[in-house]
Structure 1
Amino acid sequence: MKNEKGFTLIEMMIVLLIISVLMLIALPSMTKNNSLVKSLGCEATIDLVQGQVGAYEAEKNTLPTIEELKDGGYIDTVTCPDKKPLLIDSKGVVSVSDDE
């Protein structure tokens, strides 16, 4: 009989058990933070568009619409990451539309 080195079935099962426990701990926290990530992504998009409103206003001396910003190449998206549309009010403040 040869003395072959390798993992036994018991050792492999223990490794799989440890990996499973780690996955059970990690996955719920990642899915819980998903809504927080979307919210922060929307806030970052609003801040970016607000900055481009200022750039457009400085260049053209008028407040833009979302369409004018997109057509002028100032922005490439008119929605948040969660697909809610962005609006610019009469004072140049960017917000998220309540309608979808």
Structure 2
Amino acid sequence: MNNEKGFTLIEMLVVLLIISVLLLITIPNVTKNNEVIDTKSCAAFKSLVESQTQVYKIEKGQLPVEINDLVTEGYLSETKCPNGTEIHLLDDGSVSSEVPSTN
């Protein structure tokens, strides 16, 4: 009686087939949700910038003129969303990802 321990080729192929099927199911779901994650992270970053703008106003007595004032004073570390969208401050202290008009 030969008692060799190990896996047969068929067992290894079955395991590889199962792993391949799981990857085919999960990869499209992960890539589809990346856009949702980027959108939600940008909304969260906008909320952070608005709250830091209010903190700046409380401490300095006025709203910052531009978003770079928040960076230079140490309230923020950057001015872009995690997805790369540039953030802009409006005159009332709110935040927009659109370029402000100069009317």
Report the TM-score range of the alignment, normalised by the length of the smaller protein: over 0.9
Scaled by the length of structure 2, the TM-score of the pair is: 0.91
**For each residue in 1:53-93, what CA deviation from the matched residue of structure 2 results, as whole angstroms up to 9, or x when unmatched?**
00000011111120110000000010111111111111110
Tell whether 2:68 aligns with 1:67. yes
In 2, Cα distance between the equivalents of 1:72 and 1:27?
42
Which runs of 5 or more structure 2 residues have no equivalent in the other structure? none
Alignment correspondent of 2:77: 76
Q: Hey, what does 1:43 align to over in structure 2? A: 43
Per the alignment, residue 97 of structure 1 pairs with 98
Q: TM-score, normalised by structure 1?
A: 0.93
1:27-42 matched pairs, under 5 angstroms: 27-42=27-42
- Residue 3 of structure 1, CA deviation: 2.1
The answer for the alignment partner of 2:9 in structure 1 is 9
Partner of 2:88, secondary structure, is: strand
- TM superposition shift of 1:22: 0.4
1:2 shift after superposition = 3.3
Q: What is the aligned residue count? A: 99
Contact 2:42 2:83 in 1 (8 A): yes
- Cα distance between partner residues in 1 of 2:23 and 2:30: 10
% same residue:
45
Unaligned runs of 5+ in 1: none
Amino acid in structure 2 at the alignment position of 1:47 = S
What pairs with 1:19-34 in structure 2 (closer than 5 Å)?
19-34=19-34
